[in-house]
């Protein structure tokens, strides 16, 4: 299996190279040269546990890691989860909620990053290389990335976050990790400042290569691949003539794109509901075919406060007939004008709807009143979308975070302190380590130079 770039200007590469590459040098995203058809395996796959299923499915996309090593990486990645089923399905009202938050940081990003961290460890050791991961976070991604690589020998991780602008618990989830390879930088500036610093450092090619800088952002193919597994797992739990619908709280489109891959593999995946918050560029696109950037709006679902979804390009590639030239033209027009559209409309691969803050809160409160089940705001966006759109078969709503990660919004919606998790409560009072730095390129560069183990 080789991986090629959606923009068509990067030579195809093996899986392990794709893992280390992340974004392709031509600016495109990597995709496998074919998507395996698994329809003749479904009967056998129904009897597998989550980890076994992950091992069978992921192996179809990886041919440059020995099978026993890959199996071991996957087994260790999910041994960190606190539920035996990894992604349990819980009946709530008329739907099933798939809890994807049983990993170390209580967010669905753990499903991908626990796998990616161990993959990096293996590939770097094979090659005798060291990697310095640099990231900027406004909350969830930073802690999940840190949890994925803490304690690993050949990786240092540097995470910048805006001082005073991430929640207390989110900051503690990062700063209480005391492994020597973890470096938290509390930047006196905004999240945008952090992101700009990161982009500038990645753009400084001599610096990037002498310090072997890497990223763990959501365009990494291995993250998408790990997420395909739970669509397969959930879709095989039902015995229904109508394939299973999934409602997916969507930000960067990585999660719901994994559902699209699962469906192309021949798994019984039906409607894929792209549920956005008021940052509705994707919802507008799937309802009209017009893709136009707007201003970012801040909501109670911060992980979805995104206008331009980085993984959307992967789907566009297929929608535009797997034609890299057409894709390049679309992206060029979008970059230049902030808008582009697809001839023939968005197609029928996804259904989409946008849910505002008031509806999100009302859904948290209604679900609690009806079933006593507490959902986080992101999950509530998906539930609200599923309730709005009709479907004839079973529905799975993806729960992307534990409600205790967003206690203010959840408690306010329910009117009682219901969003707690013992693991988060215990963080208060633990020793923490973080370095305050000004929002200056020189300061960040100096810090990395001092702390990074040079290649
Ligand atoms: C990252 C995240 C999302 C969005 O997922 P994408 O793959 O970016 O679409 C939704 N909910 C939570 C809690 C997240 O952390």
Q: What is the 3-state secondary structure (H, E, C) of 344-356?
A: CCCCCCCEEEECC
Give me the mean pLDDT over the 335-343 stretch: 93
**Nearest Cα to 6, choosing from 35, 20, 21, 26?**
26
CA atoms within 13 A of residue 250's CA, in its CB half-sphere: 33
Q: What is the pLDDT of residue 81?
A: 98
Query: 18 CA to middle of ligand 1, Å?
Result: 22
Tell me the pLDDT band of 217, cut-offs 50, 70 and 90: confident
Question: Which one of 100, 116, 252 would you pick to mutate in the ligand 1 pocket, going by the greatest count of ligand atoms within 8 A of its CB?
Answer: 252
Of ligand 1's atoms, which has the minimum distance to the CA of residue 401?
Answer: 13
Q: Give φ, ψ of 34 to 5 degrees.
A: -150, 160
pLDDT in tens, 228-276: 999 999 999 999 999 999 999 999 999 999 999 999 999 999 999 999 9
Do 247 and 327 contact (CB within 8 A), yes or no?
no
Q: List, chain by chain if needed, residues with CB within 6 Å of any ligand 1 atom.
A: 107, 109, 140, 218, 249-255, 303-304, 378, 400-401
CA atoms within 13 A of residue 8's CA, in its CB half-sphere: 10
Angle at Cα 303 formed by Cα 409 and Cα 35, nearest 5°?
A: 140
Q: What is the pLDDT of residue 195?
A: 84
Query: 108 CA to middle of ligand 1, Å?
Result: 7
Domain ranges of the chain: 89-104+222-421
Rounded CA-CA distance 261/265 in Å is 6
Q: What is the pLDDT of residue 190?
A: 85
Residues 6+ apart with CB under 8 A from 291: 281, 284, 285, 334, 339, 340, 341, 342
Rounded CA-CA distance 203/215 in Å is 13
pLDDT in tens, 377-396: 999 999 999 999 999 999 99
Question: Which one of 400, 404, 409 would you pick to mutate in the ligand 1 pocket, going by the greatest count of ligand atoms within 8 A of its CB?
Answer: 400
Q: What is the pLDDT of residue 393?
A: 96
Angle at Cα 116 formed by Cα 114 and Cα 119, nearest 5°?
A: 115
CA 366 to chain CA centroid, Å, is 27
Helix, strand and coil percent figures for the chain, each rounded to 5: 45, 15, 40
Q: What is the pLDDT of residue 267?
A: 98
For ligand 1, atom 14: residue with the closest CA: 303
Percent above pLDDT 90 for the chain: 84
CB-based burial label for 307 (10 Å; 0-12, 13-18, 19+): middle
Q: What is the pLDDT of residue 345?
A: 84
For ligand 1, atom 8: residue with the closest CA: 252
Give me the mean pLDDT over the 441-454 stretch: 88
SS3 state at 188: strand
Rounded to two decimals, the pTM is 0.96
Rounded CA-CA distance 402/330 in Å is 37
Higher pLDDT pick, 121 / 214? 121
pLDDT in tens, 361-380: 999 999 999 999 999 999 99
Rounded CA-CA distance 153/144 in Å is 18
Question: Which one of 256, 273, 286, 304 would you pick to mutate in the ligand 1 pocket, going by the greatest count of ligand atoms within 8 A of its CB?
Answer: 304
Give me the mean pLDDT over the 32-55 stretch: 98
Q: Which spans in 128-190 are helix H?
A: 140-149, 168-175
Do 398 and 248 contact (CB within 8 A), yes or no?
yes
Tell me the pLDDT band of 455, cut-offs 50, 70 and 90: very low
Mean pLDDT of all residues belonging to the chain: 94
- Return the CATH number of the domain spanning residue range 89-104+222-421: 3.40.50.1100
Rounded CA-CA distance 266/292 in Å is 32
Percent above pLDDT 70 for the chain: 99
Q: Which residues pair with 98 in a beta bridge?
A: 89, 398
Active site residues: 109
Do 176 and 138 contact (CB within 8 A), yes or no?
no
Give me the mean pLDDT over the 115-133 stretch: 95
Q: What is the pLDDT of residue 13?
A: 97
Q: What is the pLDDT of residue 56?
A: 98
Give me the mean pLDDT over the 397-423 stretch: 96
Q: What is the pLDDT of residue 111?
A: 98
């Amino acid at each position: 299996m080789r991986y090629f770039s959606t923009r068509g200007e990067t030579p195809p590469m093996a899986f392990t190279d794709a893992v280390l590459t992340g974004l392709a040098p031509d600016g495109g995203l990597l995709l496998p040269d074919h998507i395996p058809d698994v329809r003749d395996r479904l009967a056998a796959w129904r009897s597998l546990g989550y980890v076994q299923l992950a091992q069978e499915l992921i192996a179809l996309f990886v041919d440059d890691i020995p099978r026993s090593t890959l199996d071991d990486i996957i087994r260790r990645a999910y041994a960190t989860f606190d539920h035996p089923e990894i992604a349990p399905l819980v009946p709530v009202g008329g739907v099933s909620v798939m809890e994807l938050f049983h990993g170390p940081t209580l967010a669905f990003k753990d499903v991908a990053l626990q796998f990616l961290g161990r993959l990096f460890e293996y590939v770097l050791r094979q090659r005798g290389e060291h990697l310095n991961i640099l990231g900027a976070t406004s909350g969830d991604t930073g802690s999940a990335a840190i949890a994925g690589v803490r304690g690993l020998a050949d990786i240092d991780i540097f995470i910048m976050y805006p001082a005073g602008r991430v929640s207390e618990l989110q900051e503690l989830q990062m700063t209480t990790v005391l492994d020597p390879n973890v470096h938290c930088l509390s930047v006196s500036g905004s999240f945008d400042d952090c992101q700009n610093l990161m982009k500038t450092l990645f753009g400084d090619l001599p610096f990037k290569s002498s310090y072997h800088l890497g990223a763990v952002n959501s365009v990494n193919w291995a993250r998408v691949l790990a997420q395909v597994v739970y669509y397969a797992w959930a879709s095989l739990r039902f015995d229904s003539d109508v394939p299973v619908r999934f409602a997916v709280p969507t930000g960067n489109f990585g999660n719901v794109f994994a559902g699209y891959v699962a469906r192309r593999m021949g798994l019984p995946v039906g409607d894929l509901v792209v549920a956005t918050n008021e940052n509705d560029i994707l919802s507008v696109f799937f309802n009209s075919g017009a893709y136009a950037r707007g201003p970012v709006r801040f909501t109670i679902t911060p992980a979805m406060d995104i206008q331009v979804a980085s993984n959307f390009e992967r789907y566009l590639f297929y929608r535009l007939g797997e034609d890299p030239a057409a894709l390049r033209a679309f992206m060029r027009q979008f970059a230049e004008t902030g808008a582009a559209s697809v001839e023939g409309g968005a197609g029928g691969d996804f259904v989409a709807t946008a849910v505002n803050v008031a509806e999100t809160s009302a859904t948290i409160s209604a679900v609690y009143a009806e079933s006593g089940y507490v959902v986080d705001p992101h999950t509530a966006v998906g539930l609200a979308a599923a309730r709005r759109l009709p479907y004839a078969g079973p529905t799975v709503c993806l729960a992307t975070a534990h409600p205790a990660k967003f206690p203010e919004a959840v408690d306010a919606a329910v009117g009682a302190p219901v969003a707690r998790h013992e693991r988060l409560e215990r963080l208060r009072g633990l020793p923490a380590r973080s370095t305050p730095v000004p929002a200056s390129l020189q300061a960040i560069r100096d810090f990395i130079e001092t702390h990074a183990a040079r290649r």
